[in-house]
Structure 1
């Protein structure tokens, strides 16, 4: 595959203290990073100076409930839409992508918030559409049990239809605000959704004008069969965890091939695998940085994280020095991640504690630990050999992890002609090479 007229897209995955589960214990990391706006402001400006396509903020709407929760750092975090709205005022070009679950939100709320962020930022917002995989979230929203896997995806499909329908409530030129005539908008350019479905009844229209991008960019992260089916029909960017180049190529080919049945072109969907990146002046230095973080992992924390990633299983009662026990197919978590981690445990013959420690950094994402040139070689191979259109970069600890990528890796990619020297547009769609969607009037 040639890179002619193609360049790598890069997202900066900002997980408060960093992606490594023990990052908050690192001496260079502000322990209060989850609710430290100055910290996030610095990160956003570093990423924008490096010309990243977007910042990506994940979310959970429940505090950790594992037995080891008191040793975990993800219990006090900003709500991501609020955070990105604030960051939109201290940045100018970088995209702003946030997670909002379809399981425990209402479509009107999500449509209104992301449309508002698109206006606030001048066309830089993106919605990461997810179905909640944290079973604990159910108890915060009046449910005794989490939605089943099938229920979550059925609700998500309709949720998407309502949100995008609400984003098409107004023509681009609907609001004339003519003081002389007293006419605020043209009634013929208002479109009432009047949706009645299995999960939602939403009249509309949205009380926010059509956004600068037409619609915020729709991002998804599901790699299960249901997730891929939804992404092929609706997503514009897909984040995915893939364990190898060969697996990533297979996923890339398969998902791109699904687009044809929805009359979509391959370039309408950008596939961006997550990459956990640790940089050093030498391979040894990079490994030393990673090992220093690994040394901070408490075994019970690694196992608690593993249970959560496998699909909300409590593994605290199993011997940590024994193999991963047989587990049923998760109905509340990510089935694709459960399959990936189960295969990893079997292939490498890892004990429970070893597997928990192994995923403490990348959580099953591909890990790159080395010099800027070595990491760039891998990214270039994935990009040129049909495995990725770009990458969501997982930083081990913050801010140093992002600063290293901006200072050393990005210039190496630029030197190879694989990444932009400067922004050529102003919106997230411009950065990603995605077309503005035509307005659709639902009937």
Structure 2
């Protein structure tokens, strides 16, 4: 009978103890992925992969080392443990290392309520190809689309198990199903491209592939004829497709690793206003059918809902055990890890309060400015929060979309920008990051 992931992690822990580790934790991941790409009505590429990866972290006193492998034979597990212990003995000491205490560990979770795994059978490649072809055909049918760059459909499944010498042992399964399409409109130097896509845990929740292709095609056509906007100071509306990047910069700044190093532009902001009064940013890792949900973190601690920002005031850093100890605080249950590295802090599902105005209302109210629908490049100073990014989208004149724009740069300071955001009401509630379109007045725009 094949070894279960629980058996493999326990065997790794036993090998670590035998090799001389004081404490240890182990993670095992078994995954499957199928990806189908089509082009011009025919199959272009089909890929399937299956793998099993394991990782072992050993601690000797206040020293640690991590090793990983894709072979689970007894000889390999023994070799992994011996090498990890040898490495740990040479590693520098870290006074903040250590596994969770047994009374901190997650217990009695109901994995079924998270709905992380679709019980529907894995789709066969022909079904995936049909979806990709339907998306491609719908994009190609849009007048003005000159070609479909890519159209893909994919399925993924993963099983994860974590165990540690402090007594923790737990695991869960995940699935995902996705469709994406990239369309090109225009010719020569006037070609423009855009995309649409969807990824869900449950196949029945996935949007219709023809809708995805149609929207990709329409978006590409709308971008034809783009030109540089005038340099100046204008209101900028970040479309819902890319507005979560602004919240992502805030989340990076409250990461315990950055805060502990003193390298965050929000390092001194705890208890102060970081968003407009009345806005809150919450984390909820227990939302069903959402990719960022999980019952426990990578150190075996229970995940919980928390207020990151309440009424505009910063309430919490994002912490694992190590960064929490450095800051004299408690972990927020946000440890994440791969098989090849130790835990580090990471946020789960995030939601920013929505406003009462629609995106169209904000466009009307902003008068003249820029609607940003895509961004390229990034120059973010993590210490000061200075912000500069390439952008493209649509010029808004007198509250109405006038024409597409590209090759421009928007700049400001994140601390000031986030204090001025005005949210719309158009966030997609099924995403892991639920963030509506965001209007920011007084952004610096560099064009021609």
TM-score interval w.r.t. the shorter chain?
under 0.3
Taking structure 1 as the reference length, the TM-score comes to 0.21
Q: Name which structure has the greater RCO, CA cutoff 8 Å, separation 6+.
A: 1
Bigger fraction of residues in strand: 2
Structure with higher helix content: 1
Tell which structure's C-alpha radius of gyration is larger.
2
